[in-house]
Structure 1
Amino acid sequence: MRKQFVKTENYSRFTAGIQAVEQRGAAEAGMMLVHGAPGFGKSHIVGHWAAESGAVFLRANVDWTPKYCLVELAKAMRVDPSGTAQQLFSRLLERVVETQTPLVIDEAEFTLHQNAAALEKIRDLSDRAEVTVVLIGMERIQQSIARHRQLSSRIAQVCEFTPSTMADVAQACRQLSEVVMSPELVAEVHRLSGGRMREVLNVIAAVERLARLNGLDSMDVADLEGVALSFDWQSRTARTVRKAGGR
């Protein structure tokens, strides 16, 4: 499989949201919330943006405290992580103001423990340095943050990641697959994946593997009828390719 970045509709909505945050009127409203079900490409897309923009990308842990959060951020920004939380915050604020580095917090649910104490530290950095902060979470994180008025009032944009469209999957197959897929097979990739880009990649890899085993450089539905290319973990059943023209 080729190593390329696919610009999906979720990517387009995310970058439009980022642009809106960066052009905001209220300097302190510098947060963007990205949420959605697992497998829709949140971390991958935001991580790609972070790499391109020079943002710091952190993944929160279940045991994050305000100090733990600051220490992890200091390590990522090559700031001395020693001393008290107050001393560490001061050093970090100086560095963030100087560099204007955007911050990304993945698994942001873990910042909401202890009355969102860890996220309050991130919010304080964002307020004072006037930098963009992207929070990535699951479907219900928006409701959880809404309970904290001081935090929710700082969120300038919300981007919900949704299932990949047929056009997204077709683009992924064109860019990533080293095997030519017929339009009918691409439609099956979309159906089998349920629009989850993570699963799209798994199905593409399975198609490529079968093509190599059979010495083929192109594949159609007829080549894979009845073959399991995906697995539904909820129902614990294999997802197989339908017959050509089947329902």
Structure 2
Amino acid sequence: MKKQFVKTSNFIAFQNAIRAVESRGAAEAGMLLVTGEAGYGKSHTVGSWAEQTGAIYLRANQDWTPHYFMTELAKELRVDTRGPGEKLFNRLVAAMVNPGGEPTPLVIDEADHTLHHSAAVLEKIRDFSDRLEMMVILVGMDQIQAKVSRHAQISSRIARVVSFGAATLQDISLTCDTLCEVKVEPALVAEILRQTGGRMREVMNAIAQVEGIALRNQIASIGMDAIGNRPLVHDWRCRSKTATKPAASRAGQIQGGF
């Protein structure tokens, strides 16, 4: 498979939210909340954006404390971690301003872990956001929005919320066209959607399997006839029988089921 980033509908929604936060009226309301179930591509999308823009990217740990968070941030920024918290905070504030004088955006993945102990870690993140008036992107599961809403001093700083959903048929078709070394026929694209339920993590695995079958058989364009009853997704959770059960028949009947 090719190594490229695919601009799915979730990415476009995220990109639009970024623009909205950048053009916000209240400087202190610089937080963007990205939510969604596991496997929908939140971390990959936001991580790729952070890499392209030079944003700071941290993955929260379950045992984070405010000082632990600052220590991890300091390591990322190559800042001296020694000394009391106040001095560390001030060093970090100075390091988070880029040479042009603008604050560097901060991404916190697995942000659900920042809400333990009365959201003490998220409060510390808010301190940085308030001091620098910078953008903070929090990435978490569906429930994080309700949890954050319990803390008014934080929720009032959320400028936008983006909820990642299942990939659409168009998203999967675009992903196949962009990443796959062979042509994936429309009926097989639809079957990938059916078996994966639109979870991009599983979609990627399915595409890799389809590509492998095509390359082993020296097929330039692969369709349902080459797949047969082979499952493209192996879900140990057995999410549902219909989600992972192979198609019982050929492409025409598969298309008719959508």
Residues of 2 paired with 1:59 and 1:141: CA distance?
15
Moved more, 129-138 or 177-186: 177-186
Question: Which amino acid letter does the alignment assign opposite residue 240 of structure 1?
Answer: P
Q: Shift of residue 242 of structure 1?
A: 4.0
Determine whether 1:33 maps to 2:36. Answer: no
Does structure 2 retain, via aligned residues, the 8 Å contact 1:232–1:239? Answer: no
Distance in structure 1 (CA, Å) of the matches to 2:234 and 2:192: 12
- Which deviations, in whole Å up to 9, do the C-alpha atoms of 1:18-59 show, x marking residues without a partner? 111111110110100000001111001111111111100000
3-state SS in 2 of match to 1:228: coil
Do structure 1's residue 115 and structure 2's residue 115 form an aligned pair?
A: no
Is 2:120 aligned against 1:131? no
Corresponding position of 1:142: 145
Partners of 2:193 and 2:2 in 1: CA distance? 19
Tell me if structure 2 keeps the 8 A contact 1:66–1:117. Answer: yes
**Any residues of structure 2 matched to 1:25-64 within 5 Å, and which?**
25-64=25-64
Structure 2 equivalent of residue 216 of structure 1: 219
Residue 231 (structure 1) aligned with residue 234 (structure 2): yes
Partner Cα separation in structure 2 for residue 92 and residue 181 of structure 1? 49
Higher strand residue share: 1
The answer to whether the aligner puts 1:86 opposite 2:90 as a matched pair is no
Aligned equivalent of 1:243:
249
Q: Which runs of 5+ in 2 are unaligned?
A: none
TM-score, normalised with respect to structure 2: 0.92
Describe the superposition over 1:3-26 as per-residue Cα deviations: whole angstroms up to 9, x where unpaired. 110000100110110111111110
1:228 deviates by 1.2
- Which amino acid in structure 1 is aligned with residue 218 of structure 2? G
Runs of 5+ consecutive residues of structure 1 not aligned to the other structure = none
CA distance in 2, matches of 1:232, 1:241: 16
Counterparts in 2 of 1:206 and 1:94: CA distance versus 1, 3 Å: same
What TM-score does the superposition give when structure 1 sets the normalisation length? 0.96
CA distance in 2, matches of 1:99, 1:242: 57
Q: 1-side partners of 2:43 and 2:111: how far apart?
A: 11
CA contact (8 A) 1:221 1:242 kept: no
Number of residues paired by the alignment? Answer: 247
- Matched residue SS, 2:32: strand
Question: Is the Cα contact below 8 Å between 1:30 and 1:154 reproduced in 2?
Answer: yes
Deviation at 1:234, TM superposition (A): 2.6
RMSD after superposition: 1.3
**SS of aligned partner of 1:192:** helix
